[in-house]
Amino acid sequence: MELKLEGLEKRYGKKLALDGFSYTFKQGICGILGANGAGKTTMMNLITDNVSRDRGQILFDGKDVLKLGNAFRSVLGYMPQQQGLYDEMSAYSFLLYLAKLKGLQSRAAKAQAARLLSLVNLSDAAHKKLGGFSGGMRQRVLLCQALLGAPKVVILDEPTAGLDPKERVRIRSYIHELAKECIVLWTTHIVSDIESIADDVILMKQGMLVAHGKPHELIDRISGRDLEDVYMHFLGEDDRDA
Ligand SMILES: Nc1ncnc2c1ncn2[C@@H]1O[C@H](COP(=O)(O)OP(=O)(O)O)[C@@H](O)[C@H]1O
Ligand SMILES: [Mg+2]
């Protein structure tokens, strides 16, 4: 199973948000590191076809995802960087609603919603309104949503954004557990999020791939101590909190 990006390009006016980006994602967790503005969300938007590309190809197991259409969408799970929740809905009904949109049968939808909520320790809050959920609880519901329908490609755009360190560790371990059999793309500008659980890491800057490899390979390549050193080596001059 592989997801191959070839020469992807996306322009916003004069701004080249993605500049001939090529990479092949395989099964496992790929951490995508880059400062704000590096093009991470643009890449996710092109893969999910929420935004049209100017150039390049995206192939899932050798087939063009645009041609696959619904067949690709049905194997895709997506947790967008910013997403509103329906505050009046319960976590359970929110998941049922999205499961229906994904085309799941009602029985399967109910079983999956309950199972996913239990896996992220939200069974007790399943029937409470989302409006009263903490940031960490909301992120966990969004993660469940991305995993409905047993997707093969899971795209998580800054899944830990806005979480406190404890919640961050928690959601990280859920992702690690839940997304074992999939191709997982996980963007972040927080190195510690993916340190120790990413199988592969790619570093992006100004819409381009600047380095990729297994965490230990990257660390060895620059004779660094950890991924933080790798980040500083390749992306250090970028403003990390821009
Ligand atoms: N809808 C848009 N209109 C104009 N410029 C955009 C739009 N979306 C992204 N950009 C620009 O493209 C670049 C990459 O943005 P983005 O993909 O959101 O980066 P990241 O997710 O890594 O922070 C940035 O310079 C950003 O300002
Ligand atoms: Mg982004």
Q: What percentage of the chain reaches a pLDDT higher than 70?
A: 98
In a domain, 182, yes or no: no
Q: 215: domain CATH number? A: 3.40.50.300
Q: From ligand 2's centre to the CA of 138, what distance in Å?
A: 18
| Mean pLDDT across 36-43 | 95
- Tokens in use for 94? 């929110």
Residues 59 and 157 in one domain: yes
Q: Assess whether pLDDT exceeds 80 at residue 183.
A: yes
Residues 57 and 161 in one domain: yes
Residues 240 and 156 in one domain: yes
Among the bound ligands, the one closest to the CA of 204: 1
Residues 158 and 195 in one domain: yes
Binned at pLDDT 50, 70 and 90, residue 222 comes out as very high
Residues 53 and 92 in one domain: no
- Does ligand 1 come within 6 angstroms of the Cβ of 155? no
- Position 64 scores a pLDDT of 97
Q: Is 106 exposed, middle or buried (0-12, 13-18, 19+ CB in 10 A)?
A: exposed
Strand, helix or coil for residue 114: helix
Residues 222 and 107 in one domain: no
Residues 116 and 97 in one domain: yes
Residue-wise pLDDT for 110-139, tens only, equals 999 999 999 899 999 999 999 999 988 999
In a domain, 22, yes or no: yes
In a domain, 179, yes or no: no
In a domain, 183, yes or no: no
Residues 114 and 162 in one domain: no
- Position 242 scores a pLDDT of 44
Which of 150, 180, 208 lies at the terminal end of a domain, its last residue?
150
| Mean pLDDT across 154-163 | 91
Residues 122 and 112 in one domain: yes
- Nearest CA, atom 26, ligand 1: 37
Residues 56 and 159 in one domain: yes
Q: Assess whether pLDDT exceeds 90 at residue 24.
A: yes
Q: What is the dihedral of CA 159, 165, 166, 169, to 10 degrees?
A: 50
| Mean pLDDT across 101-105 | 91
Structural domain including 108 reads 84-150
Q: From ligand 1's centre to the CA of 75, what distance in Å?
A: 26
In a domain, 171, yes or no: no
Q: Where are the beta strands (DSSP E) in 13-72?
A: 15-26, 28-33, 55-60, 63-64
Residues 135 and 98 in one domain: yes
Residues 213 and 121 in one domain: no
Global confidence as pTM? 0.93
In a domain, 62, yes or no: yes
- In sequence order, which residues have a C-beta less than 8 Å from that of residue 155 and are 6 or more positions away? 44, 47, 48, 76, 77, 78, 79, 146, 185
Residue-wise pLDDT for 74-101, tens only, equals 999 999 887 778 899 999 999 999 999 8
- Nearest CA, atom 1, ligand 1: 12
Q: From ligand 1's centre to the CA of 46, what distance in Å?
A: 12
Query: Based on the structure, what is the number of domains in the chain?
Result: 2
In a domain, 23, yes or no: yes
In a domain, 108, yes or no: yes
